[in-house]
Amino acid sequence: MSNPLGPAAFFALEAGECLDRLDRIFSTPQGPLPEELIRTARALRGSALMANQPQLARAAAGFEALGRALRDRKRSWDAATREQAGQSIEEFRLLVRRVPEWQEPDASRAARLTAHLESLAGQGPAEAARLRSAAPADLQTGVRAFVAREGALIASALDRAARSVRAEPDDREPLYMVLRRMQSLQGLAELPDFPPLPEILDGIELAVGDLTRMHAPPPGVDTVMEAGAARACG
Q: What are phi and psi of 18, to 5 degrees?
A: -65, -45
**Can you give the pLDDT at residue 53?**
86
pLDDT for the residue 187: 67
Q: Give the pLDDT score at 146.
A: 75
Burial class (CB in 10 A: 0-12, 13-18, 19+), 105: exposed
Architecture in CATH for domain 7-133: Up-down Bundle (1.20)
The confidence score (pLDDT) of residue 1 equals 34
Parse the chain into domains and list their residue ranges. 7-133, 141-231
- Mapping DSSP to helix (H, G, I), strand (E, B) and coil, where does residue 112 land? helix
Q: Residue 137: its pLDDT value, please?
A: 43
Predicted local confidence at residue 129, as pLDDT: 55
Average pLDDT per run of 10 along the chain, which is 234 residues long?
57 90 92 91 83 87 92 90 94 94 92 92 63 48 75 88 88 88 74 79 84 82 77 56
Contacts of 197 (CB under 8 A, 6+ apart): 147, 151, 185, 191, 233
pLDDT of residue 213: 84
Question: What stretch of H or E contains 166?
Answer: helix 141-167
pLDDT of residue 220: 81
Residue 74 makes CB contacts below 8 A (sequence gap 6+) with 68, 121, 122
Report the residue count for the chain: 234
Q: How far is CA 121 from CA 66, 129, 170, in A?
A: 4, 14, 44
Which of 11, 40, 16, 9 has its CA nearest to residue 26?
40
pLDDT for the residue 3: 42
pLDDT for res 195:
78
Put simply, whether the predicted model's pTM sits higher than 0.75 gets the answer: no
